[in-house]
């Protein structure tokens, strides 16, 4: 892998990936606006705010590959999402272009297509149908990645991350769960995919029996998820109840009430 830079390294996924990649990357550049401390000889800790283009460029110096996990992680006012998620991703991609970094992996979200119905197996080739302002920001993140791949030749892979949890805890997770083990697997595969993969968007979810997203083409991302949320179904209240096949995949995220508090007063 060479030197891998990870933005949002202090976050939930970043912390898991950090531990997993310590023994695989020659060097890990861990970037966050929260203070971090190096825990291994091959770790390099750097502080940067994604809104600061110069700080991002400085933090990515020396990287061969970038895993961009940083950003606002859920519904928020559009101005905040544009400033951090969209502009911040632009800063990462532009720094990568200037530095000649060979691969950028962007954390997208399943929420870019949350309004497709549960009965539909959704492909990343279909039009986006974001379930809220957060989903809109991630659709823009993917569009930026596509632009930098097409126009500037960067190799960009967007992972539409599912419900990242230690174990599934609600009925929707039976379709959307992404286990820590599978999260690491998808990320490792995205970081090391052949340079011929110029651009791809793939759903990153575990091998859930009720999954409603297309699994990645091995020619694009060679990873087969190992975990299945169904193994935990007996512990989830309501898991045995039949769902509405026409309901949106986003579940409660698709309700107006989820977004209304973040709109203009």
The number of folded domains in the chain is 1
At 52 the pLDDT is 98
- Is residue 1 very low, low, confident or very high in pLDDT (cuts 50, 70, 90)? confident
Q: Characterize the bridge pairing of strands 103-109 and 155-161.
A: parallel
**Which of these is catalytic: 116, 134, 186, 203?**
134
At 68 the pLDDT is 98
User: pTM for this one?
Assistant: 0.96
87 CB burial (10 A radius; 0-12, 13-18, 19+) = middle
Give the Å distances, CA to CA, from 220 to 110, 186, 191, 197.
18, 12, 12, 6
- Is residue 30 very low, low, confident or very high in pLDDT (cuts 50, 70, 90)? very high
Which CATH number fits the domain that encloses residue 67? 3.40.50.720
Question: By residue range, what is the domain housing residue 147?
Answer: 3-262
pLDDT tens per residue across span 79-116:
999 999 999 999 999 999 999 998 999 999 999 999 99
pLDDT tens per residue across span 148-195:
999 999 999 999 999 999 999 999 999 999 999 999 999 999 999 999
Is 203 an active-site residue? no
CB 116 within 8 A of CB 129: yes
Secondary structure (DSSP) of 176-229: HEE-HHHHHHHHHHHHHS-TT--EEEEEE----TT--BPPPPTTT--------G
Q: Say what percent of the chain tops pLDDT 70.
A: 100
Token readout for 146 is 């596509």
pLDDT tens per residue across span 196-209:
999 999 999 999 99
Q: What is the average pLDDT across 251-257?
A: 97
Residue with tokens 């959704």: 122
Gyration radius (Cα) of the chain, Å = 18
CB atoms within 10 A of CB 263: 10
At 264 the pLDDT is 87
Residue with tokens 């989820």: 258
Query: 25 Cβ partners below 8 Å, 6+ apart?
Result: 1, 2, 3, 4, 42
């Amino acid at each position: 892998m060479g030197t891998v830079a990870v933005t949002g390294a202090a976050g939930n996924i970043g912390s898991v990936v950090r531990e997993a990649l310590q023994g695989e990357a020659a060097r890990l550049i861990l970037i966050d606006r929260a203070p971090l401390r190096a825990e291994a000889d091959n770790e390099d800790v750097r502080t940067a705010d994604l809104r600061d283009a110069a700080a991002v460029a400085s933090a990515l110096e020396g990287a061969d590959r970038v895993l961009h996990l940083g950003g606002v992680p859920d519904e928020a006012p559009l101005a905040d999402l544009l400033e951090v998620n969209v502009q911040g991703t632009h800063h990462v991609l532009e720094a990568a272009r200037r530095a000649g970094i060979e691969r950028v992996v962007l954390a997208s979200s399943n929420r870019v297509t949350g309004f497709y119905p549960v009965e539909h197996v959704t492909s990343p080739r279909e039009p986006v149908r974001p379930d809220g302002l957060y989903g809109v920001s991630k659709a823009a993140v993917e569009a930026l990645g596509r632009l930098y791949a097409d126009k500037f030749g960067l190799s960009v892979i967007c992972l539409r991350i599912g419900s990242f949890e230690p174990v599934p805890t609600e009925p929707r997770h039976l379709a959307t769960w992404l286990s820590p083990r599978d999260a690491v697997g998808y990320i490792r595969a995205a970081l090391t995919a052949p340079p011929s993969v110029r651009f791809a968007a793939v759903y990153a979810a575990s091998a859930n029996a009720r999954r409603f997203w297309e699994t990645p083409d091995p020619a694009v991302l060679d990873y087969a998820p190992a975990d299945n949320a169904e193994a935990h179904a007996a512990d989830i209240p309501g898991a045995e109840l039949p769902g509405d096949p026409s309901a949106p995949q986003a579940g409660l995220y698709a309700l107006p009430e989820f977004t209304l508090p973040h709109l203009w007063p």
